[in-house]
Structure 1
Amino acid sequence: MTTPLAYTGADFYCDVAIPDPGALDVVHEDDRVLAFHHTKPFWEVHLVAVPTRHIGSLTAAGGDDEADLLALLRVVQRLAREVEREYGAAAVLTNLGAYQDSKHLHVHIQAGDRR
């Protein structure tokens, strides 16, 4: 994995991840959703799933985003189910506003201790 560690832009997903998924440890990729092991994990297991089309955040999503949101939730559900089955627990989280470093809807699927 050769992901740049010093990225300082506003949308890591549109700028880096989606254009070059080969630089990531991908667990799911299709025309609507990309999911991969987080490049700077906070937890023992830390996946992130994003729509491949730019949506600013969960609260910015609108009616035109319905198909992308449904596809994203299906992938998040499958990955969370797999993590829960393997590790006995899973958490699903999205950040909003000032908590959102990258201004692109993304969902974390996590388990285990903080790193």
Structure 2
Amino acid sequence: MTETVCDFYCDKILSGVVPVPVCFENEQVFAFHHTNPIWENHVVLLPKKHVESLITLEEADNELLLELMRAAKAIAGDFMARFGAARVYTNLGEYQSSKHLHWHIGSGKQLRPY
């Protein structure tokens, strides 16, 4: 029997159950404007394929990782051009509230603690 993996991003965001303002999308990746942002400008970038975290990526995921980095570079570059600064990071372990690989890309004043 195959184990079903459940997570917020697969179950709610990528399935369209929770509508979000799309920032970027292609066949492999999805980026949206965070609905409860930490910074004035806050985008979440994730693969459409379920991957638990950065450290669970496999060799077969190399093209997916490159596509994620291309999207992160474009979004962060846009933030740099418009706001002069950007941060890009992913969480692991207990710091990762949803067990689906995702990057936060942010700029501007911090709106709330994280």
Runs of at least 4 residues off by over 6 Å: none
> Which of residues 20, 26, 31 is equivalent to 2:27?
31
- Taking the TM superposition and a 5 Å limit, the aligned residue runs for 1:1-115 are 11-20=7-16, 23-115=19-111
Q: Mark the structure with the bigger radius of gyration.
A: 2
Q: Which blocks of at least 5 consecutive residues in structure 1 are unaligned?
A: 1-9
Q: Which blocks of at least 5 consecutive residues in structure 2 are unaligned?
A: 1-5
RMSD: 1.4
> Taking every aligned residue pair, what percent have the same amino acid on both sides?
43
**Contact 1:34/1:50 (8 A) holds in 2:** yes
Q: Distance in 2 between matches of 1:101 and 1:72?
A: 20
- Shift, 1:22, TM fit: 7.6
Q: Distance in 1 between matches of 2:34 and 2:7?
A: 15
- Shift, 1:19, TM fit: 1.1
1:7-51 deviations in Å (ceiling 9; x for gaps): xxx621111111118811001111100001012111111001000
- Name the SS for the 1:83 alignment partner: helix
TM-score, reference length from structure 2: 0.88
**Contact 1:33/1:51 (8 A) holds in 2:** yes
**Contact 1:43/1:112 (8 A) holds in 2:** yes
**Contact 2:86/2:106 (8 A) holds in 1:** yes
Matched residue type, 2:86: A
Matched residue type, 1:111: S
Q: Name the structure 2 match of 1:3.
A: none
- Name the SS for the 1:75 alignment partner: helix
